[in-house]
Amino acid sequence: MHLFAENLAVEIASYYRNLALGHGVIPKVFTLVNGEGDQYLFFIDDLRMEKDEESQFLAYVVQAHEAVCYARGTLVILDKSQQLIEFAVIDRDDEEAIVCSAELTRDLEDKPVGLTDFEKTLAPKKTIFFSGLFEPVKLSEDRAEEFEGLWDEMKPKILHRTMGI
């Protein structure tokens, strides 16, 4: 597993903890890291796309930036009293993914007030529904231009930084 993948798992756990407990929000997050350590992070809901188009776009971004790993996270509501924040980190060269989950506690006003530590496990990459973003995506020339334009439009609004090793 690439060192960036392990670091990404630690960072996403901290990021979600800060968002949930500090700001009361739990967005669907997507982030990737390339071989030079450039990291991009954005909220998936901001895309406002259908599932298939969203998957194509995310694959386009992963491939255009030559990602070595990426992560996707979300809130999972099992019932009113049991909610989890879950994310998985997919490494390009590893058959296993890092899967992390923490239980979220809310108060009577539905505000997040507690989050357990993220439990980290390894799972076969093929069992993660969004693990195929490294697979070559075939896009029409128009669709590729559309995605390139969307990415250029998004770039100033997303978190971009260089990960330290």
Q: What is the tens place of the pLDDT at every residue in 31-69? A: 999 989 999 999 998 898 999 999 999 999 999 999 999
Q: What is the C-alpha to C-alpha distance for residues 63 and 20, in angstroms, rounded to an integer?
A: 30
Q: What pLDDT, on the 0 to 100 scale, is given for residue 3?
A: 79
Find all residues with CB under 8 Å of 125, minimum gap 6, and list them. 90, 91, 94, 95, 96, 97, 131
The pLDDT mean for the chain works out to: 92
Give the distance, in angstroms, between the CA of residue 104 and the centroid of all CA atoms in the same chain. 18
- State residue 108 phi and psi, 5-degree precision: -65, -20
Kindly indicate the confidence band of residue 107, based on its pLDDT and cuts at 50, 70 and 90. confident
Helix (H) or strand (E) holding 144: helix 141-154
Q: What is the C-alpha to C-alpha distance for residues 112 and 115, in angstroms, rounded to an integer?
A: 8
* Residues linked to residue 43 through DSSP beta bridges, in sequence order: 29
pTM of the model: 0.92
CB 70 within 8 A of CB 163: no
Q: What pLDDT, on the 0 to 100 scale, is given for residue 131?
A: 94
Domain ranges of the chain: 3-160
Kindly indicate the confidence band of residue 17, based on its pLDDT and cuts at 50, 70 and 90. very high
Kindly indicate the confidence band of residue 109, based on its pLDDT and cuts at 50, 70 and 90. confident
Residue 1 has pLDDT above 80, yes or no: no
Q: What pLDDT, on the 0 to 100 scale, is given for residue 140?
A: 93
Q: What pLDDT, on the 0 to 100 scale, is given for residue 163?
A: 80
The arithmetic mean of pLDDT across residues 81-101, rounded, is 95
Residue 141 has pLDDT above 60, yes or no: yes
